[in-house]
Structures are given as structure tokens and as C-alpha cells.
Chains A and B, each alone.
Chain A
Amino acid sequence: MKIVVPIKRVIDPYIKVRVKADHSGVETNNVKMTINPFCEIAVEEAVRLKEQGIADEIIVVSAGEKQCQEQLRTALALGADRAIHIDTHNNIEPLIVAKLLAAIVEQEKASLVITGKQSIDTDNNQVAQMLAALLDWPQATFASNISINQQQMEVVREVDGGLMTVTMTLPAVVSTDLRLNEPRFASLPNIMKAKRKSLDTITADSLGVEVTYSQTITEVTPPQARKSGVKVESVSELVDKLRNEAKVIV
């Protein structure tokens, strides 16, 4: 079985993002970039399925400018077999990403796609569901456990109010939640080995997908700062403030 894992290059989640002064976006110059944490979990899950003998080959894919090859190399060092870089602008829209992935899935005859549930930059949470729609495959979003037996996949999903367990027949799309696994660190020998693994660069045209935009981001603003609060000295002062100043308790 072949698994396709799409990954995205994003600003490191432990860095405080800064909105540009002209409100055209957030500052990405000289900012540390990394593989989206949810995508990293997706790569790890695919590698575990390969280690269990369920998957034969893991293909990682990223759409963006040349720099995203760094993140593809990272995924290869974590255990993916080969990588495809789709050379496009950064920040193409989720529907286009889904169309590009659908073309790759069909070309590769993959039977499972594991994606992160969302990227921590745009926070859209759309690609997995759109890809599943385009392929007319079932989707298991927000997965916290996956088990595969032949063509049958059982997934525990983190949903509002609890955990939902579903089964579905492969091929399917899974999106990872935070607790699916804890990704490993790439070892130095594996980082060296990853340099020799295949990384092909292709264009959107070659996949028969036209890159269009249906949304415009006209302004990006920082959140409103909360006015600074006060430190109270005692529980009775706190209760008094909550009751008589903020009026949030009776």
C-alpha cells in the first residue's frame, strides 16, 4: 500500500508572529520555518504503518516555493521514501492544494492519504476534507488512533463532547489530531540518508491543475491588546472586585 503525506512549511509555532506594519501580512523574513506540527504527526503515523508492514511506500508532497524542499528533506529523514515538490507560489488556496494532491494520488495509485488537520499559519482545516470530496473517498478527520486490517480502517476521532470511533473501507483520507502520536527525532545517519532519497520537482501544469485564487486577503491586523489588569492582594479583595467592579458574580 502506498501512503501520500502532504506537508507544509510554516513559521515555527514557538515563535511569536509579528504583523507587518503595513498590515499586508505577517513577517516571514528571517523567521525560523519548520514543518507544520500536524503534518509531522502525519509523517510519523505513516512511518509507523510502514514499520508494521502495512504500508510499502510513503510519498511526501509539498506545494510551494523552492524552500519547502527543506521540509521535504526533514520528512525523508523521518522515514518517508521519496518526495515530490510541486513548484507553485506559497499561499495557494486549500482547494487548489486538494486538486494538486488528488492528481498525485491518482498518478501514484495511493490508497491512503494522511494529512495534518490544519496548518498552524492559516488555521484553515480544509485540505483533507476537500481532497476526500474530490476523490469521493471517506474521510476520518481529527484522528487520535488509527488501526488498519486489510482494506478496513478503524479510526478514533476527537469530536466535540468525546471520542467517536468509525470504520471505513480504504482508500481513505485521514487528518491527524495532536494526540495521534509523538513524532520521533531524525537521527544523524537518517538525515544523511535522506539527502540521497529521490526528490522530484514538478509543476501544477504537469498535473493538469490551473492555479487560481478565489479569495483575497486585504488586511492582516494584530489582535487588540487587553488592557493591563491589576494584582490583588487577597482572596477577599478578589471576590470584592469580581462582585462589585467586574460584576461577573453575584
Chain B
Amino acid sequence: MKNLIIVEHDNHQLHADTLKVVSAATQTSQDNTLLVMGSQCDAVAQQASQIDGISQVICIDDPAFVHQFSESLAPTIANIAKEYQGVWCCSSSKGKDLAPRVAAKCGVGQISDIVQVIDENTFIRPVYAGNAFAKVTSHDDIRVVTVRASAFEVVECNNQVDIIHQQVTPHTHSVELISMDKTESARPELTAAEVVISGGRGVGSKENFALIEQLADKLGAAIGASRAAVDAGFVANDLQVGQTGKIVAPKLYIAVGISGAIQHLAGMKESKVIVAINKDPDSPIFEVADYGLVGDLFEILPQLIEQL
């Protein structure tokens, strides 16, 4: 089986989740090609060429690919994919946007958000927001897969393979970028962080989230939130952890003032250690917590910040 792995990047830096996609793909084959598409993205191709487990990097550098819109990438990828049996993307917002478009252009199905590789045709993926897991076998000639990064380990970068530069005629489309409003933060990215501190409705206000921030600073953690906290306007919506938000699996997840709706649990219950701090001892969050502390978060958090 020959795999084509789509590199996630911003034209400057390779996204670390690509290392996890490679880890998943290498479980099916030794023949793995990385594809970098972008504009002025040579640095990314260089980084890609050092990833273990791959045999070559294809780099297609064209001004038309600067924003990496799926409308322009998918036809090119579908064309290249004819030589491959596997096409692999991150299950990120970019990957989710791209992979189905590639699959349809190839005339095949797509398998979303895999968390385990059984063999080259068979994968495990969550359904019903992680309340069940389906074992899916594909009978397509090309398997187009998105990988849930948090379910795989990163591969090392001690390699040095050839970079093949290719040119294509980019597919034209009418999509134009108006703006990209990035949520600026000095903290680690939510889905990649080793420690995540999340606040819920119990935190009470936008101002009170400062306590969550102080705790996060102490632990070098990323900040998350429940849907209730996002809907109440305490934090930006891209911090939402849950079925419809981000799926995280850090080493340590601390849920503060979060009751533990099914929606939220679906986004964090794969975390290695879960701590719950909540004043209601009957909150469902305590059912998934390794360590639960019942009490007033406004008394507990200052003590915790002090003792860490």
C-alpha cells in the first residue's frame, strides 16, 4: 500500500499534528509520501523531509495555494492520489474541509476521525460523539482517511529524504480570503497541550476566568471551556471543549465549575488524568474524574495556585 499524507502547515511551520498522522499511516505501510501544498512553503518541505517513516516529500509551491482553499487543493490531490491507495489528513478544520472534497473527486468514500488502525482497510472511529466506536472496513481502491491526532503518538524527526518539486495548473475558483482573526495566546494550543484547565458556568463571569488563567499560567496549561461558559460569553468559542468543539486528550485535565454534560464529556474523557472541582457533589463530571474535590471554586482555586 502506498500512502499520500497531506501536510498541515501555515506556509512557514509544519503543524505538529502531521507527526501523529504519519504515525497512524505508518501502521499500514512502509511506503509513505508527504505532500506539501502552499505558497513560499519551502521551509515546511524541509521540516517534512526530516520526519521518520517517510520515503519522500512532494512539494507543490504556487501562489494560487497561498490560502490552501480546498477548492484549489482537492482536484490536484485527487489527481496525484491515483498512484496511491491511502490519502491521510489531520482531522483538523482544514483536514475536515479538504478530505471529503478529495474523496468525492476520486469517486470514493471517506473515513472520518479515526482513532485506531486495525489494518490497511479497517479503522476504528467514534460515532455518537464518542458514545460508541465503529469498526469500519473500506472496500474502495483509495482510502481517504482523517486522523484524530490526540489518539496517536508523534513520530520522531531524525530522517532526511528527498524533496521533489512539482508544478501543476491550479484549479480556479471564486473563493477569496477577507480576513483571518486569530485568537492570540501565549499559551499552548488547546488540542496539543499536556495540561488543560477548563472552566464552566460555575466560574460565573468573564472576569472570574482570571482565576482559571492564573492556574493555567502556573501549570503551563491551555485554557478550555464548556459550551455553557462559551454561550454565556465568558470566553471565545474556539476554546469550547466537547462534541461540537475541540476534542482533547491531555495528560491532565482539570474541570472547574463544569457539571459534565454528555456534550462536554465527549470532548475530554480520553484525558489520562481528570480532576473535577465542583460545588455539587452529584455533578456527572465526578463520574469520569479520577480525583474529585467538592467545594467552592473561589476558595479552592487560590489555594491550589498557592500550593502548586
Contact call B105/A133, Cβ cutoff below 8 A:
yes
Q: Does A44 contact B (CB under 8 A)?
A: no
Complex Cα distance A126/B252, Å? 32
Contact call B96/A125, Cβ cutoff below 8 A:
yes
Q: Does A228 contact B (CB under 8 A)?
A: yes
Complex Cα distance A46/B155, Å? 45
Contact call A239/B136, Cβ cutoff below 8 A:
no
Contact call A161/B238, Cβ cutoff below 8 A:
yes
Contact call B183/A139, Cβ cutoff below 8 A:
no
Name the B residues within 8 Å of A166 (CB-CB).
69, 175-178
Interface centre among A26, A120, A161 (most CB of B within 10 A): A161
Contact call A238/B291, Cβ cutoff below 8 A:
yes
Complex Cα distance A228/B122, Å? 31
Complex Cα distance A241/B254, Å? 14
Complex Cα distance A199/B178, Å? 40
Name the B residues within 8 Å of A94 (CB-CB).
100, 109-110
Q: Does B70 contact A (CB under 8 A)?
A: yes
Interface size class of A (residues with CB under 8 A): 35 or more
Complex Cα distance A183/B126, Å? 27
Contact call B178/A178, Cβ cutoff below 8 A:
no
> Could you say which of A133, A138, A164, A167 contacts B100, with CB atoms under 8 Å apart?
A133
Contact call B179/A165, Cβ cutoff below 8 A:
yes
Complex Cα distance A241/B127, Å? 34
Name the A residues within 8 Å of B167 (CB-CB).
none
- Of A64-72, A80-88, A185-193, A217-225, the one contacting chain B is A217-225
Q: Does B71 contact A (CB under 8 A)?
A: yes
Given A138-B173, A215-B136: A125 touches B112 (CB 8 Å cut-off): yes
Contact call A220/B134, Cβ cutoff below 8 A:
yes
Closest to B133 in A: A221
> Could you say which of A160, A167, A217, A239 contacts B134, with CB atoms under 8 Å apart?
A217
Q: Does A129 contact B (CB under 8 A)?
A: yes
Complex Cα distance A14/B307, Å? 39
Name the B residues within 8 Å of A26 (CB-CB).
127-128, 132
In the assembled complex, the CB of B215 is this many whole angstroms from the nearest CB of chain A, namely: 11
Closest to B305 in A: A235
Complex Cα distance A236/B307, Å? 7
In the assembled complex, the CB of A21 is this many whole angstroms from the nearest CB of chain B, namely: 13
Q: Does B135 contact A (CB under 8 A)?
A: yes
- Of B24-32, B45-53, B54-62, B267-275, the one contacting chain A is B267-275
Q: Does A134 contact B (CB under 8 A)?
A: yes
Name the A residues within 8 Å of B269 (CB-CB).
223, 226
Complex Cα distance A238/B177, Å? 48
Name the B residues within 8 Å of A29 (CB-CB).
none
> Could you say which of B70, B178, B182 contacts A167, with CB atoms under 8 Å apart?
B178
Q: Does B39 contact A (CB under 8 A)?
A: no
Contact call A130/B103, Cβ cutoff below 8 A:
yes
Q: Does A158 contact B (CB under 8 A)?
A: yes
Q: Does A62 contact B (CB under 8 A)?
A: no
Complex Cα distance A16/B234, Å? 28
Complex Cα distance A141/B288, Å? 33
Contact call B287/A220, Cβ cutoff below 8 A:
no
Complex Cα distance A163/B183, Å? 8
> Could you say which of B94, B111, B135, B303 contacts A160, with CB atoms under 8 Å apart?
B94
Contact call B109/A214, Cβ cutoff below 8 A:
yes
The 8 A CB mask of A156-188 against B (1 = contact, 0 = none) is 011111111111110000000111000000000
Contact call B176/A218, Cβ cutoff below 8 A:
no
Given A162-B181, A179-B237, A221-B132: A235 touches B303 (CB 8 Å cut-off): yes
Interface centre among B93, B126, B132, B180 (most CB of A within 10 A): B132
- 19 additional contacts, CB 8 Å, given A95-B110, A161-B182, A246-B273? A11-B128, A13-B263, A95-B108, A125-B112, A129-B98, A131-B104, A132-B101, A133-B101, A139-B70, A139-B101, A166-B176, A168-B175, A217-B137, A223-B130, A226-B274, A229-B290, A246-B290, A249-B219, A249-B308
Selected A-B contacts with CB under 8 Å, 17 pairs: A16-B262, A129-B98, A139-B97, A141-B97, A161-B182, A162-B180, A162-B183, A166-B178, A168-B173, A168-B176, A214-B109, A215-B136, A216-B136, A217-B136, A219-B134, A226-B288, A238-B304
